[in-house]
Copies of this chain bind each other. A is one copy, B any other.
């Protein structure tokens, strides 16, 4: 069983589970009372929004497109959000929330193992973005063009993962495991390689690269860059 499959078994990232969380968060705005109905329709709305917005941009997607593709009427849509921007923030907020949840607490066993923690961070980031691919593409592409609140959310979320990587690196340097002149800079350079997996996923797929393969090769590349001695090299 691949590591990615194990990851999926550990986390329920199904559309329904994610929309249930959106419902909790936005219970104040959503006018539909019955959770089962609300979750089912939110799923239809979000699914369609991600498809259309990732194809031609959120702003270019009209609410009429959304009614046609989702099967819900104009009025029904506005029972779930009070403006198009709120719909955007629902999706963005859920992405940020899941990132905090999944990446926020590494296994305690890795607390004293910076190399393992770095590996875990890279792997988990890739698997998470693979499992929620359209969500992350959406967040990446739309975050900057929209309300201030959304941009700040996205920036602070990115800063968090970046500093987790930097911490693992600094820890490794302190233990003499890594040789990195500037850990912040190294973390800054690693981040875009993680993002590239989902931003240009079609390209990677065309080359036949799976998430597990990308994870393996990215980790090898990064470990070489930070000067981690492999077991063979260390044994010499």
A residues at B contact (CB < 8 Å): 56-57, 59-60, 141, 144-145, 181-182, 184-186, 188-189, 191-193, 195-196, 199-200, 203-204, 207, 209, 217-218, 220-222, 224-227
In the complex, chain B residues whose CB is within 8 Å of the CB of A56: 145
In the complex, chain B residues whose CB is within 8 Å of the CB of A57: 57, 59, 145
CA distance A154 to B196 in the complex (A): 16
Interface secondary structure of A, over-half rule: helix
Q: Contacts A60-B59, A145-B57, A217-B182 given: A196-B207 contact, CB under 8 Å?
A: no
Distance in angstroms from A37 CB to nearest chain B CB is 34
Q: Which of B60, B181, B217 contacts A220 (CB 8 A)?
A: B181
CA distance A224 to B56 in the complex (A): 39
CA distance A209 to B187 in the complex (A): 14
Please tell me if the beta carbons of A221 and B217 are within 8 angstroms of each other in the complex: no
Please tell me if the beta carbons of B189 and A221 are within 8 angstroms of each other in the complex: yes
Task: Find the B residue at minimum CB distance from A223.
Answer: B225
